[in-house]
Amino acid sequence: MRSKGITLTRHILMEQRAHPSATGELSTLLAQVGLVTKIIARAVSRAGLADILGVTGAVNVHGEEVKRLDEYANQTFINVFGHSGLVCTLVSEEMEKPKHLSENCSQGKYILFFDPLDGSSNIDVNGTIGTIFSIHHRMDGDRHETDAEWFRPGSEQVAAGYVIYGPSTILVYTAGNGAHGFTLDPTIGEFLLSHENIRIPGRGKTYSINEGNYPVWHPSTRDFIDHLKEKDPASGRPYSSRYVGALVADFHRTLLQGGIFLYPGDMKNPKGKLRLLYEAAPLAFVVEQAGGAAGSGTERILDIRPTDLHQRVPLLIGSSEDVALAESFATGRKKRDYERRKKT
């Protein structure tokens, strides 16, 4: 896929022209996200040299030890957006409460939700990691510092996306008009269009789940994964297993090649592990814009109205046919079909 030399900024401006009402602030905000992730990409590429590996000794709101790169990435968002005038409130996986940038709240129209560094367990072993972001309009009036402001369904996102720090650094975003990928050209420090209007295949050949959780999986999850492993060439089975352990990496492969990523609820963690506001909802926006699907097993991710800032949600995301099949197992429909067919 050759770049057309179109920079992220130019693409966003082209997108913005499609929305006469756009004021350019969203374009500037997205370009600022590009700046943040370029700074993070530089730190990631030199982590071992810049003495930025390892842990801070702190534990975050999720009870997870905070890596120094988590902290560095989080602080980079605060530094870049602190005086941008664009964003009134930052909601981060690494901050228990929303951070109001009060000097921005007089004119800043947006709230930025983000997972500053996703896949932290991969940092110290030079594995692929990422950043995930989600942008909402602030509600009008003086409700901007109330829960109502933050607990918005993903369907209200204005834009969302992620950056994957792998062999190359790629930024994928959607503003509701398709999903588009940009590869960072480090020689000029620009993200250049490399994946225009990404379309996920209707069905894939891989499934991505942490098989180590098998002992606590619900029977419906076991049935679904066992189904994918059965030998049946006519239905394209068995699927291959792929699991990087970083949501952004497993999602990016699924988005480009098809298949399904699952972090389901299980008997130990009924809501699974991934967070709705800054992991599941932004990726659900991207995958739906690419023609795929994202659900919790019982409902569409983008329809879920959060009740807690850091709430977790089970996540089945990827090709529409694969997600539909997984949901039919999750709701027991498939099992009943199975049993009915066995009786005939």
**CB 66 → ligand AHG: shortest distance, Å?**
10
- Maximum alpha-carbon separation in the chain: 69
Contact partner, 210, from ligand AHG, Mn ion, none, Cβ < 5-8 Å per class: ligand AHG
Which residues lie closer than 8 Å to 155 by C-beta, 6 or more apart? Answer: 302, 303
Site track 84-123 with ligand AHG (rule: CB under 6 A), x = hit: ---------x---------------------x--xxxx--
Nearer to Mn ion, 201 or 282 (CB): 282
| H or E stretch covering 129 | strand 129-137
Residue 71 sits in the site that holds Mn ion (CB under 5 A):
no
| H or E stretch covering 113 | strand 110-118
Q: Which of 263, 334, 331, 264 is nearest to 298 (CA)?
A: 331
Residue 210 sits in the site that holds ligand AHG (CB under 6 A):
yes
Residue 288 sits in the site that holds ligand AHG (CB under 6 A):
no
**CB 117 → Mn ion: shortest distance, Å?**
5
31: left (phi over 0), alpha (psi -120 to 50) or beta: alpha
β-partners of residue 110 are 87, 137
Nearer to ligand AHG, 108 or 264 (CB): 264
- For residue 166, CA distances in Å to 34, 55, 63, 152, 274 come to 16, 21, 27, 31, 21
Both tokens of 315, joined, read 């996540």
β-partners of residue 262 are 316
Residue 250 sits in the site that holds Mn ion (CB under 5 A):
no
Residue 118 sits in the site that holds Mn ion (CB under 5 A):
yes
- State which of positions 219-258 bind ligand AHG (CB under 6 A): 245-247
Both tokens of 233, joined, read 């060439």
| DSSP 8-state class, residue 121 | G
Q: Counting Cβ atoms within 10 Å, is residue 52 exposed (0-12), middle (13-18) or buried (19+)?
A: middle
Nearer to ligand AHG, 165 or 263 (CB): 263
Residue 115 sits in the site that holds Mn ion (CB under 5 A):
yes
Nearer to ligand AHG, 119 or 295 (CB): 119
**CB 91 → ligand AHG: shortest distance, Å?**
14
**CB 126 → ligand AHG: shortest distance, Å?**
15
Q: Which of 211, 329, 221, 206 is nearest to 257 (CA)?
A: 206
**CB 183 → ligand AHG: shortest distance, Å?**
21
Nearer to ligand AHG, 176 or 245 (CB): 245
Q: Which of 74, 50, 77, 80 is nearest to 60 (CA)?
A: 74
- For residue 184, CA distances in Å to 77, 273, 277 come to 19, 30, 26
**CB 123 → ligand AHG: shortest distance, Å?**
9
Nearer to ligand AHG, 108 or 119 (CB): 119
Nearest residue to Mn ion on Cβ basis: 118
- State which of positions 73-112 bind Mn ion (CB under 5 A): 93
Number of residues that bind ligand AHG (CB under 6 A): 13
Residues that bind Mn ion (CB under 5 A): 93, 115, 117-118
Residues that bind ligand AHG (CB under 6 A): 64, 93, 115, 118-121, 210, 245-247, 263, 273
